Amino acid sequence: MNDKTEKMRNFISVKDIGNLDNAVKEALEIKADRYRFCELGRNKTLMMVFFNSSLRTRLSTQKAALNLGMNVIVLDINQGAWKLETERGVIMDGDKPEHILEAIPVMGSYCDVIGVRSFARFESKKDDYDEVILNQFIKHSGRPVFSMEAATRHPLQSFADLITIEEHKTKACPKVVMTWAPHPKALPQAVPNSFAEWMNATDYEFVITHPKGYELDPEFVGNARVEYDQMKAFEGADFIYAKNWSAYTGDNYGKILSTDRSWTVSERQMAVTDNAFFMHCLPVRRNMIVTDDVIEAPTSLIIPEAANREISATVVLKRLLEGLSD
- Separation CA 209–CA 204 (nearest Å): 16
- Which residues, in sequence order, are CB contacts of 164 under 8 Å at separation 6+? 279, 301, 304, 305, 308
Distances (CA, A) of 68 to 41, 147, 154, 225: 5, 18, 22, 40
**Strand ranges across the sheet with 45-50:** 71-76, 45-50, 113-117, 145-147
pLDDT single digits (tens) 98-107: 899 999 999 9
Give residue 96's pLDDT: 86
Map out the domains of the chain with their CATH numbers.
Answer: 14-153+309-324 (3.40.50.1370), 155-306 (3.40.50.1370)
- Separation CA 166–CA 274 (nearest Å): 17
- Separation CA 261–CA 82 (nearest Å): 41
Distances (CA, A) of 319 to 68, 113, 116: 11, 11, 17
Give residue 84's pLDDT: 86
| Sequential pLDDT tens for the chain (326 residues) | 444 566 799 999 999 999 999 999 999 999 999 999 999 999 999 999 999 999 999 999 999 999 999 999 999 998 877 888 888 899 999 888 889 999 999 999 999 999 999 999 999 999 999 999 999 999 999 999 999 999 999 999 999 999 999 999 999 999 999 999 999 999 999 999 999 999 999 999 999 999 999 999 999 999 999 999 999 999 999 999 999 999 999 999 999 999 999 999 999 999 999 999 999 999 999 999 999 999 999 999 999 999 999 999 999 999 999 999 76
Reduced to 3 states, what is the DSSP secondary structure of residue 313?
helix
Q: Where on the phi/psi map is residue 56: left (φ > 0), alpha (ψ -120 to 50), or beta?
A: alpha
Give residue 2's pLDDT: 46
Which ranges in the chain belong to alpha helices (H)? 20-32, 56-67, 100-108, 125-129, 132-140, 155-168, 190-200, 218-221, 230-234, 267-270, 292-295, 302-324
Predicted model pTM: 0.96
- Separation CA 162–CA 173 (nearest Å): 13
Give residue 3's pLDDT: 46
- Which residues, in sequence order, are CB contacts of 241 under 8 Å at separation 6+? 161, 176, 177, 178, 179, 195, 279, 280
Give residue 86's pLDDT: 82
